Amino acid sequence: YILAIISGIICGVSDIPLLKTIGLTVADVFIRIFKCISLPIIFLSIIVTLSNYCSEGVLKIVWRKTMIYTLGTTIIAAALSFILYNLINPSMIGKSTQATDFHLSSNQTSYLHYISGLFPDSIISPFLNNSVISVLFLGIVIGVAIRFIPDEKPKATITQFFHGAHGLFMVVTKWIIKIIPLGLFGFITTTAAELENGGDLKGIWQYLLVIVLANLVQGFIILPLWLKFKGIQPYSSLKKMLPALSLAFVSKSSVGTLPVTISTAEKNLNINPEISRFVLPLCTSINMNGCAAFIFTTVVYLMQNNHIHLSLAAMGLWIIIATVAAIGNAGIPMGCFFLSASLLASMNVPITLLGIILPFYSLIDMLETALNVWSDSCVVKVVNDEVSELAANVTVPLNSSEI
């Protein structure tokens, strides 16, 4: 990474046209790669997430509660980043060359036309037209529809097909991540060339401040208030989960921390093992509070840096998109960064500025992973207490299939 950054800066400020051309070409190639893989991987991730549905006994109730709370906390995290972004209002880096409006028109005809455009006229048109929202909509519909297939055999077959396709794209994604320093070189070259012609890096620090504050407020205020509302002592629970949170922070891996998270939750929070060993692995895949905040802030900031003016209504739409994309983030290496780049590239928004953000991403990822594990812990604690109370009221054991 360091070599890529240094090389990119040298090429970007160099007076040798060939060096700049090489950097710009590399950046263009990576933008094309992101555009190629972005929509399929988001589409498949959403289908895989939504099709994994449990329909037996208390586990059905646990699954529903987990999905509701996961969706709720994640959309709040994205909304919080929306509020902080507009309060801090990060300054732009480059000089304006042209401005493009991106807003939801108040005109009724235009609005209805926009809504009708969300529904694809064929299953492949959203991918051909790079329509992010239509792809998200299509993925949600197919993922939910799979759950309602009555015959178990074709249901299992179609589920395995999408799981296999998802796994295939995961392999390709890992290959891309391995050569990401080459892409960083291209992005840094382009950004350095732009900054040489005039630019201000103050906006990057304000952008980073939005992300850090969004994670801290979500972790230390929003989630504790939710626990308090549910009759749970928040900061006592936080203290009890510190072993798992500390490991998550330094390892930057929710999956790698999972055994410690399960053990700590069962031992210190008195979580029923049947619930912890079902909810926590599920949350590790789909409960991405930090990722939603990162995707929203990054996408909006880069769009505005490229002089695409977003109305508040358009930003509100991006809260939903960031939430769905974060939930569909399961198993993607450098998922938040990769999805942000992919979403932007699919809309033909230049992503060279990500070259400046990438060196800071490791620190951001540490904070986001700790927040995600803390959110997982809150969800499993609330679900455990509610399901235990339900089981006690109906006097049936937790593993009963009669509830």
**Residue ranges per structural domain of the chain:** 2-394
Q: What is the average per-residue pLDDT within 333-346?
A: 77
| Model pLDDT for residues 196-218, shown as the tens digit of each residue | 655 566 788 899 999 999 999 99
pLDDT of 55 above 80: no
For 258-353, list the strands marked E by DSSP: 308-310
Share above pLDDT 70 across residues of the chain, in percent, rounded to a whole number: 83
Q: What is the pLDDT of residue 203?
A: 82
Question: Is beta strand 100-102 parallel, antiparallel or unpaired with respect to 308-310?
Answer: parallel
Q: Give the pLDDT confidence score for residue 132 in this predicted structure.
A: 67
Task: Give the model's confidence band at 400: pLDDT under 50 very low, under 70 low, under 90 confident, else very high.
Answer: very low
Structure confidence by residue, pLDDT tens digits, 237-276: 999 999 999 888 877 778 778 888 988 999 999 999 888 8
Q: Tell me the average pLDDT across 329-333.
A: 57
On the question of pLDDT at 329 being above 70, the answer is: no
Mean pLDDT computed over 380-396: 77
pLDDT bin (cut points 50, 70, 90) of residue 186 is confident
The pLDDT, as a whole number, for residue 380 is: 95
**Per-residue pLDDT for 370 more than 60?**
yes
Coil, helix or strand at residue 62 = helix
DSSP code string of 214-247: HHHHIIIIIHHHHHHHTT--HHHHHHHTHHHHHH
Residue 5 has pLDDT above 90, yes or no: no
pLDDT: which is higher, 79 or 176: 79
CA distances from 318 to 15, 18, 29, 153 (A): 40, 39, 26, 37
At residue 75, the pLDDT reads 95
pLDDT of residue 299: 92
Alpha carbons within 13 A on the beta-carbon side of 81: 35
Q: What is the mean pLDDT of the chain?
A: 80
| pLDDT score at 385 | 92
pLDDT number for residue 199: 57
Query: Please, what's the b/e burial string for 300-331 (b: 16 or more CB within 10 A of its CB; e: otherwise)?
Result: bbbbbbbebebeeebbebbbebbbbbbbbbbe
Q: Which of 11-25, 46-60, 133-147, 307-321 has the highest mean pLDDT?
A: 307-321
> What is the per-residue pLDDT across 67-126, written as a single tens digit (0 to 9) for each?
899 999 999 999 999 999 999 999 887 544 444 444 444 444 344 454 566 677 778 877
2-394: CATH architecture: Orthogonal Bundle (1.10)
pLDDT of residue 84: 97
> Which one-letter amino acid corresponds to residue 45?
S
